[in-house]
Every structure is written in C-alpha cells, then in structure tokens.
C-alpha cells in the first residue's frame, strides 16, 4: 500500500506544480512541455515498485547494428554518467547498488530504458509541433534535450543490457544451468 501512496502523492505534487507554473508562465509555454517530460520520468521512477513500463516487443531485442552506436560516443556518455552526480538519479542500474546481482541490475536497466523510450515518445510530438509552427530555436533546443535526456540514455542502457545479458548467459553456461 505504501508504494501506491507515494506514487499518488508524487503525481499530485508534480501535477500541482505543473498547474501552478503554468498559471505563472502561461500554459502555452514550451518550458511546461520540458517540465512534463521530466515529471513523467520522475513519476515513472517512483512508480517502479507498483508497475513496470516495457519497451514495445519489437524494440526489445538489441540488434547487431546497434553496437555501432559506440561510435556516436555512447560509451563516453556512460562514463560521464557514472562519474557525475547524475548517477544518483537512477543508482539501481549500477552493479554496486544491487550488491552484485547482475539480473536485478539488468531488470532495472530494462525499466529505465523503457521509461526513457516512453518519455521520448511523449515529448516528440511537441518538438514536431515547434517545427510545424516554425519555432526553430525551441525545436533545436528541445531536440538537443531529447537527445541528451532520452536518446543517449536509451542507447547506453541498451548496450549495458546487452552486456549484462551476455554475461548472465556465460555464467549460466559455466554453471551448467539455463539463463
């Protein structure tokens, strides 16, 4: 019951702050859309014990071609996250936070990947709206925000998940059990 209460309180507080900020800066402000994306990620994090978002089935497997994303600086992005205070936004995707439980870290990485995916899906229409209304500066900045807040974390989490999956399979083979 406690996780549900925490989730409801979080939704109420973030909803009220959204409405209050909207009354101050105007409900048509682009900043509200950015806040909405961050609110969604915050709510999804708090909701994790209650329900788990999932990637669409067709996007779940990591494909061989995705390994090329390393050339885009995804590994450097991961190093930056590990060495910065941003790591505390989702410490559950780090091995030390789970006391060596690789499967638990993999599950949290899957969930974090899904959260960023759905945040990107929800935020993209506003970026397109800005483009259609020729708000080029808003569209450019929000595209950058989309890349840094959602796309790179998704790419990084997919590489982490692939690495953990391979390691778990190797460990299972070594122990003579199925993954």
Q: Are residues 46 and 68 in the same domain?
A: no
Cα dihedral 97, 102, 104, 108 sign: positive
Domain carrying residue 124? 54-179
Spatial CA neighbour of 116 closest among 152, 140, 160, 68: 152
Q: Are residues 63 and 13 in the same domain?
A: no
Q: Are residues 90 and 168 in the same domain?
A: yes
Whole-number pLDDT of residue 178: 54
Whole-number pLDDT of residue 81: 85
Q: Are residues 91 and 146 in the same domain?
A: yes
Per the prediction, the chain carries an average pLDDT of 87
Spatial CA neighbour of 136 closest among 30, 57, 20: 30
DSSP letter at 100 equals: T
Q: How many domains does the chain have?
A: 2
Q: What is the pLDDT of residues 51-87, one digit of tens each?
A: 889 999 988 887 776 666 667 788 888 888 888 888 7
1 confidence band (pLDDT: 50, 70, 90): confident
Q: Are residues 38 and 12 in the same domain?
A: yes
DSSP letter at 63 equals: P
State which of 51, 67, 88 marks the end of a domain.
51
Whole-number pLDDT of residue 148: 93
Q: Are residues 72 and 157 in the same domain?
A: yes
Q: Are residues 126 and 176 in the same domain?
A: yes
Q: Are residues 132 and 151 in the same domain?
A: yes
Q: What is the pLDDT of residues 100-112, one digit of tens each?
A: 788 888 888 899 9
Q: Are residues 84 and 144 in the same domain?
A: yes
pLDDT score of 91 more than 80? no
CB 121 within 8 A of CB 54: no
Q: Are residues 119 and 61 in the same domain?
A: yes
- CA distances to 2, 11, 36 from 154, in Å: 29, 24, 19
CB 105 within 8 A of CB 98: yes
């Amino acid at each position: 019951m406690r996780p549900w209460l925490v989730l409801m309180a979080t939704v109420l507080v973030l909803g009220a702050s959204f409405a209050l900020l909207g009354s101050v800066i105007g409900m048509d402000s682009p900043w509200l859309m950015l806040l909405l994306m961050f609110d969604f990620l915050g709510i999804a994090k708090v909701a994790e014990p209650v329900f788990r978002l999932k990637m669409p089935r067709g996007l779940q497997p990591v494909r061989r071609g995705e390994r090329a994303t390393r050339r885009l600086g995804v590994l450097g992005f991961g190093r930056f996250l590990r060495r910065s205070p941003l790591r505390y936004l989702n410490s559950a995707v780090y091995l030390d936070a789970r006391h060596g439980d690789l499967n638990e870290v993999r599950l949290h990485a899957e969930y974090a990947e899904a959260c960023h995916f759905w945040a990107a899906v929800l935020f993209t229409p506003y970026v397109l709206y800005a483009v259609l209304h020729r708000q080029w500066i808003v569209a450019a900045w929000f595209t950058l925000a989309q890349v840094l807040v959602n796309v790179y974390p998704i790419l990084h989490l997919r590489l982490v998940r692939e690495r953990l999956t391979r390691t778990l399979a190797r460990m299972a083979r070594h122990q003579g059990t199925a993954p």
